[in-house]
Chains A and B, each alone.
Chain A
Amino acid sequence: MTSLSIERLTKRFGKKTAVDDLSFAVRGGEIVGLLGPNGAGKSTTFLTLAGFLRAESGTISWDGVALGPERGRVISLIPETPEVYPVLTIWEHLVFVAKSSRLAPGWEQKALRLLERLGLADQRDTLGRALSKGMRQKTLIAATLLADTPVLLLDEPMIGLDPQGQRELREMLLQLRADGTAILISTHMIEQAQQLCDRIVIIKEGRFVAGGTFDELRERVGRDDAEELFLELTRA
């Protein structure tokens, strides 16, 4: 089965080790939650996986093939801070993604459907600088989903979205999972992770702490409540 494999990934900033010998995998058709307290190294892991930061060591591979510097065809990132081009409209963002990804003719229909689902159809000619944080987030989501990469990284994607937007995103992610996309998502909302993720990986100070399904972890730690479980695992 296809999977995104992260093996012994290490990223340092000077003397500080932000990601320390981290290994885990995300299979195609699976949603994995990357959880950890503030400063655990989640955003650094995402930026390193997406090719924004250079890892000191470790390999990142997709379907058994190590990924080089150009991994944009495989991995797409929705960063924690949603930023879009201030002087491009929502639709122009999508056109750029379609052109740069060389999407087949007919992509416009898919783009329009995405905008409809995310409630952006009426705003498609609005410039990026005029968008609220939530709408910028939705624009990024639309652009990312349009590119249709087999791996999706979402860093705190629910923050800034209204309840309707959160529901739509959840449904879209479930649909993508059904289509075989490998999804890695970071969130501080434990309940949301419980609802959405097939497995979770908990990290602290850049190191792997625990991994598995919620049920497996419950059994291992002996706590039923998901929040208590998280706190127990990250307390040490």
Chain B
Amino acid sequence: MNGDFAALAYLEWRSRVNTLRETFRTPARLVMLVLGIVYYAFFLWLRIANARAHASPHGIHEPNATLVFCGILLLMVAPAWTGARGVLKLFASFADARFLICSALREEHVIPFLVLRNNLFSIGRLAMLALLYALIFSTLGGLTGMTFGLLGFFLIGSVLSPFAFRVRVRFGAVVAHSLVVALALVALVPAAAIGAGALWAAAQPLAHWALGLGFGRLLNALFAGNLSALLALYALFIPLALASFVGARDLYPEIFAASYLGMKVVAQRGRGRATALASRTSSKLPRTSLSSAIPSGMAGAWAILWKDWIGFRRVSGVQWLLAIAIAIGLAVGLSSGYLMRSSDTSAVGAALLSMALFCEFAVVSLLGTILLESDLGMPLWWISASPLRIRLYVWTVATAWRTMLPLAIGIAAYGIVAGNASIALLAVPGAVLAVLLMRSIGIALYTIFPWNGGAGAISGMLRMLFSALALAAPAIAFAIATALTHDSAAGIVSAAIATLGETMLFLEFAISRIAGNGVAMAREAAG
């Protein structure tokens, strides 16, 4: 047993040490690390200063506290759903699977290692995020309580995926999906009851029932740093974590398949892995007629849009993710709109609105990983008759529409419920411009740091930093145009033009980097 853990510890230790060494030896990586640390430290300092100025921990009033609790539960549904669908990237790569499965290590030692590695890796990041959240929403509770409370929620969210996966393997997909739907209902039913109570007097008993569940009290107790509440939260995390891996045996084939569904470029490499993937996708497709395979007008670079569309249609997991993103966007938009319309537009409303926007941008848009290497590394990309510029522009649109949709729906729902027609009308163009700008920032950064196309950790911080900086140009354009014409419509048009201009600048920068260097970039990104 000790020998197994010593071998696994050696694997992890050497991987971390070598990664760190590589970072210090590669100037671009080092710059990225320093920028990330500086960015985080700056915001931490800013938030601490701000938190001190506004510290008034009175807690969150009802029904908002219950709604916030339900919102947090709802956010946990997404990772749990991926686990229930059998998508769980425990093997980090095919090499990882090869060296661990074809080894003398005992499976019940390897699986806990995989789960812990998967979760512990993100704990540092989650702790940093929890601290920032605690500071951002410092008016809602105490710093210690909020930090540990939010971290507890994050931890439970991170372990729900392997837990749901194991339930799926042990009891079947129906039980796993039912469990996740039950979790969603625990959040949605009280939230809907509160919403119904606010709209119809007849439904107020339902709202009282929802408030009586104690979700709001629990949240306030957690954020106030109540030791019993915090212990209860962590007491829930521990059995969930243990149930996700203890005694796990004979799971390698399922974990291998689940990891390959979770891996980025599975379809591009290796027939064996593609075969494994085929078990979960529609392997038997209707025969397409050669003449009608690509719709007319979709020739040249537009074929990229068509390729993305058929990929979307064939992978049901992606369709489900979009459906969940739309549901979350709608729920967040409706609740934010409701709060803005209500009399309570104090700190809680503002905080919830910030949280809603963060969820929309960070979860849906910012976390959209740039996977350009899967195209740049393909000969098909380079033999296209269309110029690189057009291809990259189309690629940006093709990979952005799934983010635009939930964002537009969320903003429109917010505008309608809040009674703000302008916001409702601007939802679609606003979402399109915002997502295109953020994707272009991601692509530009990807061409500098291709090995870190994700939006997590430092790469994510940099994307957030550039996104924040990029807001300056549209804001200035809006202010100048509005001041000159005394017409906010002119300001909005100017801001839109400035956003589009910035998007093009970022994309042009990316094109200049990719031209002549794309294949090397793809190789570097693929590791």
**A interface with B by C-beta (< 8 Å):** 13-16, 18, 43-44, 46-47, 50-54, 68-70, 72-73, 75-77, 79-81, 83-89, 92-93, 95-97, 99-102, 127-129, 140, 143-144, 147, 149, 155
User: B249 in the interface, Cβ–Cβ < 8 Å?
Assistant: yes
Within 8 A of A (CB), among B1-40: 3-4, 6-8, 10-11, 14-15, 18-19, 22
Partner of A52, one of B14, B101, B104: B101
Take A18-B275, A47-B272, A127-B18 as given contacts and tell me if A85 and B102 are in contact as well, using a CB distance cutoff of 8 Å: no
**B residues 252-267 in Cβ contact with A at 8 Å:** 252-254, 256-257
- Residue B96 interfacial (CB < 8 Å): yes
Within 8 A of A (CB), among B75-132: 93-99, 101-107
Residue numbers in A under 8 Å from B15 (CB-CB): 85, 87-88
Residues of B within 8 A of A95 (CB): 10, 14
Give the chain B neighbours of A147 by CB distance below 8 A: 102-104
What are the residues of chain A within 8 A of B103 when measuring CB–CB? Answer: 72, 97, 100-101, 147
Q: Do A51 and B272 contact each other (CB < 8 Å), given the known contacts A72-B101, A87-B19? A: no
Please indicate the chain A residues that have their CB under 8 angstroms from the CB of B14 in the complex.
87-88, 92, 95-96
A-B pairs with lowest CB-CB distance, top 3: A54-B253, A99-B7, A43-B272
Cβ–Cβ contact A52 & B256, under 8 A: yes
Q: Contacts of A70 on B, CB cut-off 8 Å?
A: 106-107
B379 is an interface residue with CB less than 8 A from chain A: no
Q: Looking at the complex, which one of B18, B19, B275 makes contact with A43 (CB distance below 8 Å)?
A: B275
B275 touches A13 (CB 8 A): yes
In the assembly, what is the distance between CA of A149 and CA of B104, in Å? 10
**Residues of A close to B101: CB separation below 8 A:** 50-52, 72
User: Are A54's CB and B254's CB within 8 A?
Assistant: yes
Q: Are B279 and A14 in contact (CB under 8 A)?
A: yes
Supply 24 A–B pairs (Cβ within 8 Å), ascending by A.
Answer: A13-B275, A13-B278, A16-B278, A43-B271, A43-B272, A47-B272, A50-B101, A51-B102, A52-B97, A52-B276, A69-B252, A72-B103, A81-B272, A87-B18, A88-B14, A92-B18, A95-B10, A96-B10, A100-B7, A100-B99, A101-B103, A127-B22, A147-B104, A149-B102
Cβ–Cβ < 8 Å partners of B287 in chain A: none
Q: How far is the CA of A80 from the CA of B273 in the complex (A)?
A: 10
**Is B516 an interface position by the 8 A CB rule?**
no
Measured CB to CB, the closest approach of chain B to A210, in angstroms, equals 23
B449 CB to nearest chain A CB (Å): 15
Q: Are A81 and B256 in contact (CB under 8 A)?
A: no
| Neighbouring B residues of A97 by C-beta, 8 Å | 99, 103
Smallest distance from the beta carbon of B280 to chain A beta carbons, Å? 8
| Cα–Cα, bound, A193→B283 (Å) | 32
B104 contacts A13, CB within 8 Å? no
- Is B295 located at the chain interface by the 8 A CB criterion? no
Interface flag for B270 (CB, 8 Å): yes
Q: Which residues of A contact B256 (CB under 8 A)?
A: 52-53
Does A83 lie within 8 Å of B102, measured CB to CB? no
Instruction: Tell me if B98 and A15 are in contact (CB < 8 A).
Output: no
Q: Determine how close the nearest CB of chain A comes to the CB of B287; give it in whole angstroms.
A: 15
Whether B272 contacts A76 by the Cβ 8 Å rule is no
Report yes or no: A128 in contact with B95, Cβ–Cβ below 8 A.
yes
Counting chain B residues whose Cβ lies within 8 A of the other chain, the interface size class is 35 or more
Measured between alpha carbons, how far is A140 from B99 in the docked complex, in Å? 9
In the assembled complex, how far is the CB of residue B317 from the closest CB belonging to chain A, in whole angstroms? 15
> Assuming the A-B contacts A69-B252, A72-B104, A88-B15, are A79 and B272 also in contact, with contact meaning beta carbons closer than 8 angstroms in the complex?
yes
Closest Cβ–Cβ distance, residue B183 to chain A (whole Å): 28
Q: Establish whether residues B283 and A85, one from each chain, have CB atoms under 8 Å apart when the complex forms.
A: no
Q: Which residues of B contact A100 (CB under 8 A)?
A: 4, 7-8, 99, 103-105
Are B272 and A102 within 8 A (Cβ)? Answer: no
Q: Are B527 and A79 in contact (CB under 8 A)?
A: no
Interfacial residues of chain B within 443-465, with CB under 8 A of chain A in the complex: none
What is the minimal beta-carbon distance from B20 to any residue of chain A, in angstroms? Answer: 10
Give complex CA distance A85, B10 in Å: 13
- The answer to whether B269 and A81 touch across the interface, beta carbons within 8 angstroms, is yes
Q: Is A15 within 8 A of B18, CB to CB? A: no
Q: Which residue of B lies closest to A48 (CB)?
A: B253
A100 to chain B, nearest CB (A): 4
A73: B residues at CB distance < 8 A:
104
Interface pair A14/B284, CB less than 8 Å apart: yes
Query: Of B7, B18, B254, B279, which contacts A88 at CB under 8 A?
Result: B18
Q: Which of B94, B99, B250, B252 has the most CB of A within 10 A?
A: B99
CB pair A72–B102 under 8 Å, yes or no, is yes
A69 touches B99 (CB 8 A): no
B253/A51 in contact, CB under 8 A: yes
| Contact A15–B250 (Cβ < 8 Å) | no
A15 to chain B, nearest CB (A): 6
Contacts of B276 in A (CB 8 A): 47, 52-53
Interchain CB contact (< 8 A) of A75 among B99, B102, B253, B271: B102
> Given A70-B106, A100-B7, is A52 in contact with B252 using a C-beta cutoff of 8 Å?
yes
A88-B11, A97-B103 given; name 15 further pairs at CB < 8 Å: A14-B284, A47-B272, A50-B102, A51-B102, A52-B276, A81-B272, A85-B11, A85-B99, A87-B22, A88-B14, A88-B15, A88-B18, A96-B7, A100-B103, A143-B99
Measured CB to CB, the closest approach of chain A to B6, in angstroms, equals: 6
Q: Given the known A-B contacts A50-B102, A87-B18, A102-B3, are A79 and B275 also in contact in the complex, defined by CB atoms under 8 Å?
A: no
The one of B18, B102, B275, B284 in contact with A76, judged by C-beta atoms closer than 8 angstroms, is B102
Please give, as numbers and ranges, the residues of chain B lying within 8 Å of A155 by CB-CB distance: 272
Question: How near does chain B come to A99, taking the closest CB pair, in angstroms?
Answer: 4
List B contacts of A75 (CB < 8 A): 102
Contact with A99, one of B10, B106, B253, B273 (Cβ below 8 angstroms)? B10
Whether A96 contacts B99 in the complex (CB less than 8 A), given A54-B254, A85-B15, comes out as yes
Q: B6, B94, B101, B269 — which one has the most chain A CB atoms within 10 A of its CB?
A: B101
Question: In the assembled complex, which residues on chain B have CB atoms less than 8 Å from the CB atom of A68?
Answer: 250
Which residues in A have their C-beta under 8 angstroms from that of B8? 100
**Contact A96–B284 (Cβ < 8 Å):** no
